[in-house]
Amino acid sequence: MPNKVLIVIGDAAEALDTVYPIWRVMEEDWQAVVAAPEKRVYHLVMHEIPPGWDVTKESPSYHWASDLAFRDVNPEEYIGLFLSGGRAPEYLRYDADLLRITRHFFAAQKPVAVVCHGAEIVAAADVIRGKRMATVPKCQFDVEVCGATFVNEACVRDGNMVSGRTWKDNPFFIREWIRMLRDYEAAHTR
């Protein structure tokens, strides 16, 4: 059984949505493999709603290199998938290879974690019909129009998917995702 976990990024992926799960995967002695449209360095961003603002402010953040392009991913080699938020999912959801990858994880019932705008990817992949999921409230429409139920909570698990609203929910939904990965790995290494 492979000990690799796939982390999806693109330009404008939210930094805390991305880096925290990478480090949690590494702390568990699994290999965090970062995939993106191409193998190159990507520009992460920070998202916050400053006091008095009604909309998210975006600031430049860290840069992160992807290990491989979506087209080169064989999802059979991975035990789990993490879909980061930020603005990256706005364009990543149109990548046919990423949709193929995402559908594999749901068909195989492998652990998937989704945060914030990552909901746009699972919505586009048409894998959330009938499911409950959390996301940032401004993505509620995307979730509902694609057949899921929006839940405004820090951690929502439905089958093989766990979701959170924003990076502020990381300690809650990522803890559950790590449990799911451990359980999946234990069940498939006997």
Q: In this predicted structure, what is the pLDDT of residue 2?
A: 62
Closest to 162 in 3D by CA, of 184, 190, 186: 184
Residues 6+ apart with CB under 8 A from 130: 147, 148
Q: Which domain holds residue 47?
A: 4-187
- What is the C-alpha R_g of the chain? 15
User: Domain count of the chain?
Assistant: 1
Beta-carbon count within 10 A of 154 CB: 17
Catalytic residue, from 63, 104, 117, 188: name it.
Answer: 117
Tens-place pLDDT, residues 129-158: 999 999 999 999 999 999 999 999 999 999
Active site annotation includes 63: no
CATH code, domain with 51: 3.40.50.880
pTM of the model: 0.96
